[in-house]
């Protein structure tokens, strides 16, 4: 799980071009939107694309997406839940 | 056209140090090679970091130039935003197309698609300035900027208090390669300041963003009056000659009244003969400007910026024009003649604000 979260942080920084942010600056549980990283609705679409490209997971329901993209922790848990056992 | 049009404020990002604004003190930037790139400012002074991270180059150039223009004019929300671009954001277009191929039309990133649309810069300006007024982008190859300008002049004549008009275009390595295959660029590699010594097929490529705040009345701060604009599509040399004479007469100017001609001559032997029209009239000093900005669809916007700056300063920046023998005796009227690879031709007439 720790390895997955680290990888996710690097991928988020690269996908969203967060120039002055390092992986260690992102708290696992900090909200990605609003107060945390300050991401917006376009970023949420970019993160959906990230999940599809790197993890082959398509999020169909936008309401589900809101929960999944809450934090790095919630994203990692979601990815793990979709991995074959 | 009834009504007048004055340039109240302006800003340009180009391969020269134009953003700083002090025309006479900036040295000429020379490019070794056939692809001129813009001297870009520090965008953080104009654009919030969170917005900046998503924008590609031409978006940053367009937005920063427009914001500086508005800042200089003291206008926060213009009556209209009208721009022209030949290619829009090439970086985004290329990225989007590559992703379609790489990801087989699935999992496509929305940002390059959104930003590849031609009106993305206008949208950004409107959002940033909370401007809900008329907003339009013209994409008509070598007439893109001129159509934006014509629309702006019409809007002013209809009563708009001010219009933000502008143009933006960029060149990428990939696009340079594509256009080189249809002979747009010179085969030999040259330095930009030696352009006119190399008359041969093709020219050098360029890019830039220029914005103007246009108003129907002049103030002490105004740069120049835009007295006339005319476009001609694929004219014959004879038609061009007649049209130039009529254009000047229509605006009450004799050829000998023109103190300076800024010409788009670009040492491209395929289309250079059109500029002979300038020699068929008794026009005073002629200066080419493409060694400064290169050639691109909206290079006319750079010429307008340059002409207006010269009129306000009442001096030609000699360091940018090594071919200038002496300063024009007076600077009251400037004619700009440009064409885009022999197809879209335009005349612009600028007057000093009295």
Residue B2: what pLDDT?
67
The Cα B292–Cα B27 span in angstroms is 11
pLDDT at B150: 98
The pLDDT of B75-85, averaged and rounded, is 98
CATH number at B224-351: 3.40.47.10
Phi-psi region of B347 (alpha: psi -120 to 50; beta: other; left: phi over 0): beta
Please give the pLDDT value at position A49: 93
Q: What are phi and psi of B143, to 5 degrees?
A: -110, 5
- Chosen for mutation from B50, B106, B123 (greatest number of chain A CBs closer than 10 Å) is B50
Q: Tell me what pLDDT residue B183 has.
A: 96
Asked if A16 is an interface residue toward chain B (Cβ–Cβ < 8 A), one would say yes
pLDDT over threshold 70, residue B1:
no
pLDDT at residue B296 is higher than 90: yes
pLDDT level of residue B295 (50, 70, 90 thresholds): very high
Tell me the mean pLDDT in the region B83-101. Answer: 97
Query: What are the two backbone dihedrals, phi and then psi, of residue B205, each rounded to the nearest 5 degrees?
Result: -90, 155
CA B201 to chain centre: 23
Mean pLDDT of B287-297: 98
B109 touches A at CB < 8 Å? yes
Nearest CB neighbour to A52, from listed B50, B53, B107: B107
The owner of tokens 């290079």 is B299
CATH number, domain containing residue A39: 1.10.1200.10
Check residue B147 and give left, alpha or beta (phi > 0: left; psi -120 to 50: alpha).
Answer: alpha
A38 vs B50, B54, B109: nearest CB:
B50
Q: Over pLDDT 90: what percentage of chain B?
A: 93
Find, among A50, A13, A6, the residue nearest to A28 by Cα: A6
Residue B344 · residue B141 · CB < 8 Å: yes
pLDDT range class, residue B94, cuts 50, 70, 90: very high
Residues of chain A falling short of pLDDT 70: 85
- CB-CB under 8 Å, B109 with A46: yes
pTM of the model: 0.95
- The overall longest dimension of chain A from CA atoms, in Å, is 37
B15-43: pLDDT as tens digits: 999 998 788 999 999 999 999 999 999 99
Q: CA of B113: how far to CAs of B104, B119, B232, in Å? A: 15, 12, 33
Superfamily of domain B6-215: Thiolase/Chalcone synthase (3.40.47.10)
User: What Rg, from alpha-carbon coordinates, does chain A have?
Assistant: 12
Q: What is the pLDDT of residue B311?
A: 98
For residue range B193-227, what is the model confidence (pLDDT) as tens digits? Answer: 999 999 999 999 999 999 999 999 999 999 999 99
Condensed to tens digits (0 to 9), the pLDDT of residues B230-271 reads 999 999 999 999 999 999 999 999 999 999 999 999 999 999
- A20/B111 Cβ within 8 A: no
Nearest CA in chain A to B56: A17
Contact yes or no for B226/B349 (Cβ under 8 A): yes
- CATH 3.40.47.10 residue ranges of chain B are 6-215, 224-351
CA angle B287, B289, B292 (to 5 degrees): 135
Distance between CA atoms of residues B259 and B38, nearest Å: 29
Domain count along chain A = 1
Considering chain B, what is the average pLDDT of its residues? 96
Binding-face residues of A in 35-54 toward B, CB within 8 A: 38, 40, 42, 45-46, 49, 52-53
Q: How high is the pLDDT of residue B353?
A: 96
Are residues B103 and A19, on separate chains, in Cβ contact within 8 Å? no
At B354 the pLDDT is 83
Structural domain span for residue A10: 2-82
Q: Using a CB-CB distance cutoff of 8 angstroms, which residues of chain B are in contact with residue A42?
A: 54, 110-111, 114
pLDDT tens-place string over residues B115-174: 999 999 999 999 999 999 999 999 999 999 999 999 999 999 999 999 999 999 999 999
């Amino acid at each position: 799980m720790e390895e997955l979260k680290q990888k996710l942080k690097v991928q988020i920084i690269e996908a969203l071009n967060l120039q002055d942010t390092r992986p260690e600056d992102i708290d696992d549980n900090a909200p990605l939107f609003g107060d945390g990283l300050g991401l917006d609705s376009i970023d949420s679409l970019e993160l959906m694309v990230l999940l599809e490209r790197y993890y082959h997971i398509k999020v169909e329901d936008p309401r589900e997406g809101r929960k999944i993209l809450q934090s790095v922790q919630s994203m990692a848990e979601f990815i793990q839940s979709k991995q074959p056992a | 056209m009834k009504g007048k049009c004055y340039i109240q404020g302006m800003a340009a990002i180009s391969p020269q140090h134009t953003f700083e604004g002090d025309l006479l003190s900036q040295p000429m930037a020379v490019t070794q090679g056939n692809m001129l790139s813009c001297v870009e400012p520090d965008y953080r002074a104009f654009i919030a970091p969170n917005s900046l991270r998503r924008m590609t180059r031409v978006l940053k150039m367009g937005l920063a130039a427009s914001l500086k223009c508005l800042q200089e004019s003291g206008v926060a929300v213009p009556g209209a935003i009208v721009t022209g671009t030949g290619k829009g954001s090439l970086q985004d277009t290329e990225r989007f197309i590559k992703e379609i191929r790489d990801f087989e039309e699935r999992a496509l990133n929305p940002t390059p698609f959104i930003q590849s649309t031609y009106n993305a810069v206008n949208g950004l300006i409107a959002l940033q300035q909370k401007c809900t007024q008329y907003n339009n982008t013209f994409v008509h190859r070598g007439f893109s900027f001129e159509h934006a300008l014509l629309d702006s002049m019409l809007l002013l004549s209809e009563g708009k208090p001010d219009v933000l008009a502008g143009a933006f275009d960029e060149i990428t390595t990939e696009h340079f390669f594509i256009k080189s295959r249809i002979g747009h660029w010179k085969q030999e590699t040259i330095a930009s300041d030696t352009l006119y010594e190399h008359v041969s097929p093709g020219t050098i490529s360029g890019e830039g963003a220029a914005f103007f705040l246009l108003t129907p009345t002049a103030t002490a701060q105004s740069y120049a009056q835009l007295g006339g604009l005319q476009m001609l599509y694929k004219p014959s040399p004879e038609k061009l000659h007649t049209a130039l004479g009529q254009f000047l007469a229509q605006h009450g100017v004799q050829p000998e009244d023109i103190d300076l001609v800024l010409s788009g001559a670009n040492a491209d032997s395929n289309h250079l003969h059109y500029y002979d029209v300038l020699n068929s009239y008794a026009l005073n000093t002629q200066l080419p400007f493409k060694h400064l900005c290169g050639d691109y669809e909206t290079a006319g916007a750079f010429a307008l910026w340059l002409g207006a700056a010269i009129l306000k300063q009442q001096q030609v920046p000699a360091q940018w024009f090594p071919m200038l023998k002496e300063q024009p005796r007076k600077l009251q009227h400037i004619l700009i003649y440009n064409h885009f690879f022999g197809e879209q031709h335009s005349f612009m007439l600028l007057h000093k604000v009295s």
